[in-house]
């Protein structure tokens, strides 16, 4: 009888332990990292993971006395896969925190974060509404509107009057063009045509031909990281630079990852971006040097989502003394301020969105390499779409 009791008590304890992840789990904080490591946007996943890796190399894998365990999953650039992997990470691995990547994957994971009440740190998505899809989402990447609204104002002031817009045909592309168009037309300019290029395996040539036929003075372009090299090659092959058409856009089109191999045809391209590998701060110089040493390539704007995303997670855990309660962590993330390699950065406590500087940059050669050289700064820029909704 007594033996039976002891056995069943032991079983009960084991059952509870397995339900809560066990006592050992209390000393380990699990972070489920769902990113696009293969598929259409592999170039994005590569930079995020490189940023995460550098952060952990510099800051270790113990925070607030707890071991940080990363469980990395490849969403293959397919949102349904991202959803399934996040579900498995929550149910089977019992992760305490998730990180998400591109927009469709972030949208797919948002309802799961809400259900499980665990923070989901958006490391890539640039679509405004991603943070509105769950109160547990915090963005450390960027929004396209932050950059393209500023680009619209700047372009008109600096002589552009007639624009053709070329956008990659998905949510961030639609937002990039919409915010640009709003600002540019309000300033007095005209967007005569908006051309939508498929996201998968794009061939820009026919779109560039159509754009050229409309004889704009300026081409506004949003394409995602990883497609810039091909885009600029086709822009030059089609002779748009020789035709005197200016190329402008958010920072994606002169992505630091592709820029070194773009050739001199891209010189003089002006973009509005939140990060340049050439940003002249001691923090960024140290970041670029350490990043290149560890990963063997130049960091681009996407890498910051990984690097700063880990910073936000580590700082929040320090503030909660390792408590992984979802609400406590989200509260700890709200209002965080830090010096990122991109510049001064914070999390807006009201919207859980990133606030950072946006720089106007021009492609120039420095030390024999192509860089985005910043020449004007807009301080502490919030997502304009959310700001407009508030009014
Ligand atoms: C996004 O997923 O929203 C995204 C990805 C890559 C970019 C920009 C936006 O370059």
Q: What pLDDT does residue 391 have?
A: 82
Residues in the chain: 391
Q: Which atom of ligand 1 is nearest to the CA of 106?
A: 2
Nearest to 123 by CA among 356, 309, 339: 309
Using the mean position of ligand 1's atoms as its centre, give its distance from the Cα of residue 318 in Å. Answer: 30
Q: How far is the CA of 358 from the centre of ligand 1 (A)?
A: 16
CB under 8 A, 24+ apart: contacts of 314-321 = 314/55, 314/59, 314/63, 314/68, 316/119, 317/29, 317/63, 317/64, 317/66, 318/63, 318/64, 320/64, 321/64
Say if ligand 1 is within 6 A of residue 102 CB.
yes
pLDDT at 4: 54
pTM equals 0.93
Residue nearest to atom 9 of ligand 1 (CA): 126
Name the closest-CA residue to atom 8, ligand 1. Answer: 224
Q: Is 105 in the pocket of ligand 1 (CB under 6 A)?
A: no
Q: 125 in ligand 1 pocket by Cβ < 6 Å?
A: yes
| Interval between CA 30 and ligand 1 midpoint (Å) | 26
Choice from 36, 103, 249, 301 to test ligand 1 binding pocket (greatest atom count within 8 A of CB): 103
Asked whether 82 lines ligand 1 (CB < 6 A), one says no
Ligand 1 center to 170 CA (angstroms): 9
44 lines ligand 1 (CB under 6 A): yes
Ligand 1 pocket: which of 124, 254, 300 to mutate (most atoms within 8 A of CB): 124
φ and ψ at 143, to 5 degrees? -120, 150
Which of 34, 172, 353, when mutated, tests ligand 1's pocket best, judged by the most ligand atoms within 8 Å of its CB? 172
What pLDDT is attached to residue 171?
A: 97
User: pLDDT tens, position by position, for the chain (391 residues)?
Assistant: 445 555 555 554 444 444 444 444 479 999 999 999 999 999 999 999 999 999 999 999 999 999 999 999 999 999 999 999 999 999 999 999 999 999 999 999 999 999 999 999 999 999 999 999 999 999 999 999 999 999 999 999 999 999 999 999 999 999 999 999 999 999 999 999 999 999 999 999 999 999 999 999 999 999 999 999 999 999 999 999 999 999 999 999 999 999 999 999 999 999 999 999 999 999 999 999 999 999 999 999 999 999 999 999 999 999 999 999 999 999 999 999 999 999 999 999 999 999 999 999 999 999 999 999 999 999 999 999 999 998 8
Q: What number of other Cβ atoms are within 10 A of residue 318's Cβ?
A: 12
380 CA to middle of ligand 1, Å? 21
**Strand 354-366 relative to strand 343-347, pairing:** antiparallel
């Amino acid at each position: 009888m007594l033996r039976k009791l002891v056995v069943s008590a032991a079983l009960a304890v084991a059952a509870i332990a397995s339900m809560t992840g066990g006592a050992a789990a209390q000393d380990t904080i699990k972070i489920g990292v769902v990113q696009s490591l293969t598929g259409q946007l592999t170039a994005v996943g590569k930079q995020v993971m490189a940023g995460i890796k550098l952060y952990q190399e510099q800051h270790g894998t113990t925070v607030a006395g707890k071991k940080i365990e990363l469980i990395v999953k490849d969403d293959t650039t397919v949102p349904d896969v991202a959803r399934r992997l996040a579900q498995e990470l929550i149910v089977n691995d019992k992760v305490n925190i998730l990180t998400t990547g591109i927009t469709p994957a972030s949208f797919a994971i948002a309802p799961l974060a809400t259900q499980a009440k665990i923070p989901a740190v958006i490391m890539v998505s640039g679509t405004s509404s991603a943070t509105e899809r769950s109160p547990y989402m915090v963005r450390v990447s960027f929004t396209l509107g932050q950059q393209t609204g500023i680009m619209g104002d700047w372009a008109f002031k600096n002589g552009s009057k007639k624009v053709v817009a070329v956008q990659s045909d998905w949510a961030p592309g639609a937002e990039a063009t919409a915010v640009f168009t709003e600002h540019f037309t309000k300033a007095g300019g005209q967007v005569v045509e908006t051309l939508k290029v498929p996201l998968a395996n794009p061939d820009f040539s026919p779109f560039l031909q159509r754009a050229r036929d409309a004889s704009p003075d300026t081409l506004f372009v949003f394409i995602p990281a990883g497609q810039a090299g091909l885009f600029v090659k086709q822009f030059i092959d089609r002779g748009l630079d020789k035709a005197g058409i200016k190329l402008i856009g958010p920072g994606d089109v002169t992505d630091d990852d592709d820029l070194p191999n773009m050739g001199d045809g891209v010189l003089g391209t002006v973009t509005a971006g939140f990060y340049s590998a050439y940003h002249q701060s001691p923090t960024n110089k140290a970041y670029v040097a350490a990043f290149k040493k560890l990963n063997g390539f130049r960091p681009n704007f996407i890498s910051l989502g990984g690097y700063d995303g880990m910073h936000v997670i580590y700082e929040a855990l320090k503030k909660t003394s390792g408590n992984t309660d979802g609400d406590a962590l989200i509260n700890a993330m709200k209002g965080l301020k830090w010096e990122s390699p991109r510049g001064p950065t914070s999390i807006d406590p009201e919207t859980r969105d990133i606030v950072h500087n946006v720089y106007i940059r021009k492609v120039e050669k420095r030390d024999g390499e192509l860089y985005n050289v910043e020449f004007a700064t807009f301080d502490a820029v919030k997502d304009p779409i959310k700001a407009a909704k508030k009014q």
